[in-house]
Chain A
Amino acid sequence: MSSWLDYTINGLIIGNIYALVAVGLALIFGVSHLINFAHGSVYAVGAYIGWACFTYLHAPLAVTAPTVMIACAGLGVLIERVGLRPLAGSARIAPLLATIGISLVLDQLLQIIFTPDPRALTSPLPNWRIQIGGGTIGALDLLIAATGIVSAGVLYFFLRFTKLGWAVRATAQDRDAARQMGVDTDRVNMAVFAIASALGGLSGLLVGMYFNHIDPAMSFAATLKGVVAQVVGGMGNVPGAIFGSLLLGLTESYGVAIFGSSYRNLFSFALLLLILVLRPNGLFASARSTPPEPLTGSFVMPSRPVRVPRIAVIAAIAVAAIVPLAGAAPYVLQVLTNAWLFAMLAISLTLVAGTLGQISLGHASLLLIGAYASALLALDLHWPVWASVPAAGLVTALLGTALIAPAFRLRSHYLSIATLGIGEMVGLVILNWESLTRGPMGVTNIPPLQVGGVELDNPRAAYWVTLGVLVLLALLQTRLLRSHLGRTFRAIRDDDVAARAHGISLGRYKAIAFAVGGFSAGISGGIAAHLYSYINNETFTSTVSISALTMVILGGLGNVAGAVFGAVALTALPEMFRGTAEYRMLIYGLALLLLVRFRPQGVFGTT
């Protein structure tokens, strides 16, 4: 019985830590309806500034903490002013992407300045501990808890009783109305970013001290847990974010207690999905709070798509087809093969995210399902590869749609976060379902692509096969979008209430779109498995999902030709900067930012 007390305390301690991050995220979401993916990076920057203060200035915590907060507040202002404010007029997707770009840039800068090695951030606090149950808690645990509670209290006071706080709340409720009433919403936004980033930096410092460990890769995990926690508590709800964090910590701790460590994050995401499906406004939403804003339409920026003449499409395909004959190096063919595989994923994503307006952040999990399906069919059931790859497409279509189906009633950000959670869960299930997937050892000796007994194991053959499949899938999808199906998808995207009033069954059409998308993605994963010969649960990670999304947005949401273009451009870009080694991801991040800034509707425009 005493162990349960220990699990409870441990859950609260880690929940406490999540809360520090979640509060900042909730504040920003509350005011600007933006999931700030750069928040984790600010948190990492805070940790490093703290480290520098301790190491070089030998500053005490009482000096270091305010320094970190001021510096990070400045960084927050900079992010808002330079990265986000210029995007005020564009679709909501633009600032979301911009935060992803900013996060890439900040993480890379940290890595270049401080090297990727983890560092110790030793807590200067006294080392006394209190015995509770079978464990102990120390001064730092109390400081972290106090920071969480005090910052929530200060925020509450600020939002309720100060003029700027009223302005923040007014802006959160209705930006346009607030502006008409004379509120300087830009200043409000800036203040919010400053406060949230100061908190983010402080939490980075405290968490770094708690683990005695900081590294540049700490940001993504923090953002992920923070987002989950604030969804559980209710997006944009500050006290809810604290409660959600504690609940998340407890769920993880009890999950480990019952099922073991390897299942840990599975419980965080299961909790997330449960809350999203049962109480999409979060546990703390009161009955009178407004339902989630129908952001679906405004999420995607309407624009006039670039009409690509049929002759140009045919010419492009013809050029692509003769590239291997024109003496291209195997390296170029391999990069382009990767691009074609990515393009299959991108056309899948552009269908659900662009045409249907359901932004998926977990699309890489479809690749995983496809890759495992094809590999296991070929190895365990001895299917020929020409049959296992299309079968993998079908399996992915079915399984992917079934997994997302419970989330069909969710909209905009909520759906995106659900897909993020489902994506992470697929990876964890593959890791743990050993009897089927071989667990962490992965699947080895996957046979190469072959048709009729002929192995297609040279770069040219792989190139042509992937190109051929891509062209087929892309033409099918273009044809589909010209039919009534395409019009229905767009109707759902632009106004789902009106669509439903016209007798459109939303769930059924969403299922069709996810199934078609799942098929392309599954084929892509299946082919990749046979090209790589080895896959495991980490072959396709969440970074692949993010890359696919940037490709789709670069090309123009919903635009099939654009998705292919985006895939080629963003696969080739980091390869072109290969000579700059450590700097290439930095350049990639900057390119992404510039793109969002100057052409948020994508190169080919949304359709």
Chain B
Amino acid sequence: MLEVSNLACSRGDHRLFSGLSFALHPGQIMQVQGANGSGKTSLLRTLCGFLMPDEGTINWRGKDTRELDEDYYAEVLYLGHLNAIKDELSALENLRISAGLSGIELDEKEALSALRRMGLRGRERLPTKVLSQGQRRRVALARLLVSDARLWILDEPLTALDVGAVALIQELVAEHLARQGMVIFTTHQPLEVAGVEMRGLSLS
């Protein structure tokens, strides 16, 4: 469904990768591997359309993503290094707004139950500036629970998370794959999903 062919990307004068081709089909998960600075984040940002590739095409359901534009973005969930969380808003408000931006209107009950499953019971209405780094990451990750996006693009989803939260993310990824979703992610920590073959993509 996601087909990348002959992709090349550079930052400044430095060529990060070129001639990169792969395809991702429903129910598949792929880990992008490589040393720091090898272009993992750049690849994920290129897939999201934030960066223009130097060469190559990214096709979604057989069509160029640049032509699909919003139709493609509606099916993508991107979670980057930045949490996209406002300090002034509560966890509840943050989740409802970020879900709203991705086109899903959540009522309060749905948002609360998502936050509670992320282990934020009792902290739903606190301003996020009083939460710890890991808790703020959990607020951002709660989007995974309410999203209906087909393709998840996760950039280091496990940073600042404790063991319990990592297990929860593995569970969510497994559920998403079982729904015929697709995941492409980077991580430096082990992420195991039971019963699914983990594909690897090495950038060097």
Q: Is B truly associated with A?
A: no
B-side residues, CB < 8 A to A, are: none
A-side residues, CB < 8 A to B, are: none
